[in-house]
Amino acid sequence: MAGHSKWATTKHKKAAIDAKRAKLFAKLIKNIEVAARTGGGDPAGNPSLFDAIQKAKKSSVPNDNIDRAVKRGSGAEGGGADYQTLTYEGYAPGGVGLIIECLSENKNRAVMEVRTALTRNGGQMADSGSVAFNFHRKGVVVVPAGEKSEDELMEIVLEAGAEELTDMGEAGFEVTTEPSDMVPVRTALQEAGVDYDSADVKMLPITPIELDAEGARKLFRLIDALEDCDDVQEVYAAADVPDAVLAELDSED
Protein backbone atom coordinates (compact mmCIF):
# COMPACT_ATOMS: atom_id res chain seq x y z
CA MET A 1 0.00 0.00 0.00
CA ALA A 2 2.98 2.35 0.49
CA GLY A 3 3.56 2.38 -3.25
CA HIS A 4 -0.03 3.36 -3.82
CA SER A 5 0.17 6.32 -1.45
CA LYS A 6 3.08 7.78 -3.45
CA TRP A 7 1.21 7.09 -6.65
CA ALA A 8 -1.91 8.75 -5.25
CA THR A 9 0.12 11.82 -4.32
CA THR A 10 1.30 12.16 -7.90
CA LYS A 11 -2.25 11.72 -9.17
CA HIS A 12 -3.48 14.30 -6.67
CA LYS A 13 -1.03 16.91 -8.00
CA LYS A 14 -1.95 16.09 -11.56
CA ALA A 15 -5.67 16.40 -10.78
CA ALA A 16 -5.17 20.00 -9.74
CA ILE A 17 -3.99 20.77 -13.27
CA ASP A 18 -6.53 18.57 -15.05
CA ALA A 19 -9.42 20.19 -13.16
CA LYS A 20 -9.10 23.18 -15.50
CA ARG A 21 -9.69 21.07 -18.55
CA ALA A 22 -13.07 20.50 -20.12
CA LYS A 23 -12.14 16.86 -20.70
CA LEU A 24 -12.12 16.18 -16.96
CA PHE A 25 -15.49 17.89 -16.60
CA ALA A 26 -16.92 15.60 -19.27
CA LYS A 27 -15.65 12.50 -17.44
CA LEU A 28 -17.15 13.66 -14.15
CA ILE A 29 -20.48 14.46 -15.79
CA LYS A 30 -20.51 11.02 -17.38
CA ASN A 31 -19.97 9.42 -13.96
CA ILE A 32 -22.94 11.34 -12.58
CA GLU A 33 -25.20 10.24 -15.43
CA VAL A 34 -24.28 6.58 -14.97
CA ALA A 35 -24.70 6.73 -11.17
CA ALA A 36 -28.13 8.36 -11.53
CA ARG A 37 -29.22 5.80 -14.12
CA THR A 38 -28.06 2.89 -11.96
CA GLY A 39 -29.33 3.98 -8.55
CA GLY A 40 -31.82 6.79 -9.13
CA GLY A 41 -31.56 10.57 -9.08
CA ASP A 42 -31.75 11.15 -5.31
CA PRO A 43 -28.22 11.49 -3.85
CA ALA A 44 -29.53 10.84 -0.33
CA GLY A 45 -30.52 7.31 -1.34
CA ASN A 46 -27.79 6.71 -3.90
CA PRO A 47 -24.28 6.79 -2.37
CA SER A 48 -22.59 6.40 -5.76
CA LEU A 49 -24.41 9.46 -7.07
CA PHE A 50 -23.64 11.41 -3.89
CA ASP A 51 -19.91 10.73 -4.28
CA ALA A 52 -19.95 11.44 -8.02
CA ILE A 53 -21.58 14.82 -7.37
CA GLN A 54 -19.18 15.56 -4.52
CA LYS A 55 -16.19 14.80 -6.75
CA ALA A 56 -17.57 17.02 -9.53
CA LYS A 57 -18.14 19.90 -7.12
CA LYS A 58 -14.61 19.54 -5.73
CA SER A 59 -13.37 19.96 -9.31
CA SER A 60 -15.52 23.09 -9.81
CA VAL A 61 -17.99 21.59 -12.27
CA PRO A 62 -20.88 24.12 -12.46
CA ASN A 63 -24.01 23.17 -10.51
CA ASP A 64 -26.19 23.56 -13.62
CA ASN A 65 -24.10 20.94 -15.44
CA ILE A 66 -24.37 18.60 -12.47
CA ASP A 67 -28.14 19.04 -12.19
CA ARG A 68 -28.67 18.37 -15.90
CA ALA A 69 -26.50 15.25 -15.72
CA VAL A 70 -28.59 13.91 -12.83
CA LYS A 71 -31.79 14.58 -14.77
CA ARG A 72 -30.47 12.93 -17.94
CA GLY A 73 -29.27 9.89 -16.03
CA SER A 74 -32.47 9.46 -14.02
CA GLY A 75 -34.66 9.93 -17.11
CA ALA A 76 -36.21 13.19 -15.90
CA GLU A 77 -34.71 14.90 -18.95
CA GLY A 78 -33.94 13.50 -22.39
CA GLY A 79 -30.57 13.28 -24.08
CA GLY A 80 -28.82 10.74 -21.87
CA ALA A 81 -26.51 8.24 -23.55
CA ASP A 82 -26.53 4.49 -22.92
CA TYR A 83 -23.03 4.17 -21.47
CA GLN A 84 -21.41 0.76 -20.98
CA THR A 85 -18.77 0.06 -18.36
CA LEU A 86 -15.75 -1.45 -20.11
CA THR A 87 -12.52 -2.68 -18.53
CA TYR A 88 -9.32 -3.38 -20.44
CA GLU A 89 -5.98 -4.73 -19.29
CA GLY A 90 -2.60 -3.77 -20.64
CA TYR A 91 1.10 -3.37 -20.04
CA ALA A 92 3.14 -0.19 -19.88
CA PRO A 93 6.85 -0.16 -20.81
CA GLY A 94 8.82 -2.21 -18.31
CA GLY A 95 6.00 -4.69 -17.79
CA VAL A 96 3.88 -2.51 -15.48
CA GLY A 97 0.35 -3.90 -15.42
CA LEU A 98 -2.52 -1.52 -16.22
CA ILE A 99 -6.25 -1.61 -15.58
CA ILE A 100 -8.12 0.81 -17.85
CA GLU A 101 -11.74 1.56 -17.03
CA CYS A 102 -13.99 3.17 -19.64
CA LEU A 103 -17.54 4.44 -19.96
CA SER A 104 -18.68 4.48 -23.54
CA GLU A 105 -21.71 4.23 -25.79
CA ASN A 106 -19.44 2.85 -28.53
CA LYS A 107 -17.39 -0.20 -27.53
CA ASN A 108 -15.50 -0.40 -30.84
CA ARG A 109 -14.36 3.21 -30.56
CA ALA A 110 -13.30 2.77 -26.94
CA VAL A 111 -11.12 -0.30 -27.53
CA MET A 112 -9.56 1.28 -30.64
CA GLU A 113 -8.63 4.45 -28.72
CA VAL A 114 -7.17 2.46 -25.84
CA ARG A 115 -5.18 0.19 -28.14
CA THR A 116 -3.83 3.16 -30.11
CA ALA A 117 -2.76 5.05 -26.98
CA LEU A 118 -0.99 1.96 -25.67
CA THR A 119 0.88 1.05 -28.84
CA ARG A 120 1.96 4.64 -29.58
CA ASN A 121 3.53 4.92 -26.14
CA GLY A 122 5.36 1.63 -25.84
CA GLY A 123 2.57 -0.35 -24.21
CA GLN A 124 0.32 -3.17 -25.34
CA MET A 125 -3.08 -4.70 -24.70
CA ALA A 126 -3.20 -7.76 -22.43
CA ASP A 127 -5.53 -10.73 -22.24
CA SER A 128 -8.35 -10.52 -19.73
CA GLY A 129 -7.17 -11.74 -16.33
CA SER A 130 -3.45 -11.52 -17.07
CA VAL A 131 -3.12 -8.25 -15.16
CA ALA A 132 -6.22 -8.09 -12.93
CA PHE A 133 -4.92 -10.78 -10.55
CA ASN A 134 -2.35 -8.26 -9.27
CA PHE A 135 -5.01 -5.73 -8.22
CA HIS A 136 -7.72 -5.72 -5.58
CA ARG A 137 -10.77 -3.48 -5.39
CA LYS A 138 -10.77 -1.15 -2.40
CA GLY A 139 -12.64 1.88 -1.17
CA VAL A 140 -10.39 4.94 -1.01
CA VAL A 141 -11.33 8.14 0.83
CA VAL A 142 -8.92 11.08 0.62
CA VAL A 143 -8.99 13.61 3.48
CA PRO A 144 -7.09 16.89 3.01
CA ALA A 145 -4.32 17.83 5.40
CA GLY A 146 -5.28 20.01 8.34
CA GLU A 147 -8.75 18.59 8.95
CA LYS A 148 -7.77 16.45 11.95
CA SER A 149 -4.64 14.95 13.43
CA GLU A 150 -3.65 11.46 12.32
CA ASP A 151 -4.68 10.00 15.70
CA GLU A 152 -8.09 11.72 15.57
CA LEU A 153 -8.74 10.49 12.04
CA MET A 154 -7.58 7.00 12.96
CA GLU A 155 -10.14 6.80 15.76
CA ILE A 156 -12.98 7.97 13.49
CA VAL A 157 -12.29 5.73 10.51
CA LEU A 158 -11.26 2.52 12.28
CA GLU A 159 -14.46 2.47 14.28
CA ALA A 160 -16.37 2.81 11.01
CA GLY A 161 -14.60 -0.18 9.42
CA ALA A 162 -11.53 1.25 7.70
CA GLU A 163 -8.55 -1.02 7.08
CA GLU A 164 -5.72 1.51 6.91
CA LEU A 165 -4.93 5.21 7.21
CA THR A 166 -1.93 6.48 5.22
CA ASP A 167 -0.28 9.87 5.71
CA MET A 168 0.43 11.31 2.24
CA GLY A 169 2.11 14.49 3.47
CA GLU A 170 0.84 17.66 1.81
CA ALA A 171 -1.77 15.65 -0.09
CA GLY A 172 -3.49 14.72 3.19
CA PHE A 173 -4.54 11.26 4.33
CA GLU A 174 -5.74 8.24 2.41
CA VAL A 175 -8.26 5.92 4.08
CA THR A 176 -8.47 2.40 2.63
CA THR A 177 -11.53 0.20 3.16
CA GLU A 178 -13.30 -2.80 1.76
CA PRO A 179 -15.65 -1.50 -0.97
CA SER A 180 -18.71 -2.26 1.19
CA ASP A 181 -17.26 -0.19 4.07
CA MET A 182 -16.47 2.95 2.08
CA VAL A 183 -19.86 4.61 2.56
CA PRO A 184 -19.95 3.99 6.36
CA VAL A 185 -16.43 5.43 6.65
CA ARG A 186 -17.32 8.44 4.52
CA THR A 187 -20.49 8.94 6.60
CA ALA A 188 -18.52 8.73 9.86
CA LEU A 189 -16.17 11.46 8.60
CA GLN A 190 -19.12 13.66 7.66
CA GLU A 191 -20.76 13.16 11.06
CA ALA A 192 -17.47 14.13 12.73
CA GLY A 193 -17.41 17.34 10.68
CA VAL A 194 -14.45 16.20 8.57
CA ASP A 195 -14.33 17.31 4.94
CA TYR A 196 -12.97 14.91 2.34
CA ASP A 197 -11.65 15.38 -1.18
CA SER A 198 -12.95 12.19 -2.75
CA ALA A 199 -14.48 8.79 -2.02
CA ASP A 200 -14.09 6.19 -4.76
CA VAL A 201 -13.82 2.47 -5.26
CA LYS A 202 -10.47 1.88 -6.94
CA MET A 203 -8.26 -0.94 -8.18
CA LEU A 204 -5.08 -0.94 -6.06
CA PRO A 205 -1.96 -2.92 -6.96
CA ILE A 206 -0.96 -5.85 -4.76
CA THR A 207 2.67 -6.18 -5.91
CA PRO A 208 3.78 -3.00 -7.69
CA ILE A 209 6.95 -2.69 -9.76
CA GLU A 210 9.40 -0.05 -8.52
CA LEU A 211 10.34 2.38 -11.29
CA ASP A 212 13.36 4.58 -11.88
CA ALA A 213 13.05 8.05 -13.38
CA GLU A 214 13.06 6.89 -17.00
CA GLY A 215 10.50 4.18 -16.32
CA ALA A 216 8.29 6.66 -14.50
CA ARG A 217 8.51 9.15 -17.38
CA LYS A 218 7.38 6.47 -19.85
CA LEU A 219 4.55 5.36 -17.57
CA PHE A 220 3.24 8.88 -16.95
CA ARG A 221 3.45 9.66 -20.68
CA LEU A 222 1.36 6.59 -21.43
CA ILE A 223 -1.18 7.36 -18.71
CA ASP A 224 -1.53 10.92 -20.04
CA ALA A 225 -2.27 9.51 -23.50
CA LEU A 226 -4.86 7.08 -22.12
CA GLU A 227 -6.55 9.76 -20.01
CA ASP A 228 -6.82 11.95 -23.11
CA CYS A 229 -9.14 9.33 -24.61
CA ASP A 230 -12.76 10.49 -24.30
CA ASP A 231 -14.02 7.11 -23.08
CA VAL A 232 -11.31 6.41 -20.48
CA GLN A 233 -12.41 7.19 -16.93
CA GLU A 234 -9.64 5.70 -14.78
CA VAL A 235 -6.19 4.20 -15.29
CA TYR A 236 -4.62 2.10 -12.54
CA ALA A 237 -0.95 1.06 -12.67
CA ALA A 238 0.89 -1.59 -10.66
CA ALA A 239 3.80 0.78 -10.13
CA ASP A 240 5.73 2.17 -7.19
CA VAL A 241 7.51 5.47 -7.89
CA PRO A 242 9.93 6.24 -5.01
CA ASP A 243 9.87 9.70 -3.42
CA ALA A 244 13.34 10.51 -4.79
CA VAL A 245 12.20 9.75 -8.33
CA LEU A 246 9.04 11.86 -7.91
CA ALA A 247 11.19 14.73 -6.65
CA GLU A 248 13.49 14.38 -9.67
CA LEU A 249 10.54 14.46 -12.07
CA ASP A 250 8.96 17.41 -10.26
CA SER A 251 12.21 19.37 -10.62
CA GLU A 252 12.04 18.87 -14.39
CA ASP A 253 8.56 20.43 -14.72
pLDDT (0 to 100) of residue 4? 53
Does position 99 have pLDDT exceeding 80, yes or no? yes
Q: What is the pLDDT of residues 211-245, one digit of tens each?
A: 999 999 999 999 999 998 989 999 999 999 888 88
**Closest by alpha carbon to 135, among 220, 202, 232?**
202
- Every domain of the chain and the residues it spans: 16-74, 84-133+206-252, 135-205
Decide whether 84-133+206-252 matches 135-205 in CATH topology. Answer: yes
Model-level pTM? 0.84
pLDDT (0 to 100) of residue 6? 56
How far apart are alpha carbons 30 and 19 in whole angstroms?
Answer: 15
Does position 103 have pLDDT exceeding 50, yes or no? yes
Note the CATH architecture for domain 84-133+206-252: 2-Layer Sandwich (3.30)
- What is the CATH number assigned to the segment(s) 16-74? 1.10.10.200
Q: Does domain 135-205 have CATH number 3.40.50.2300?
A: no
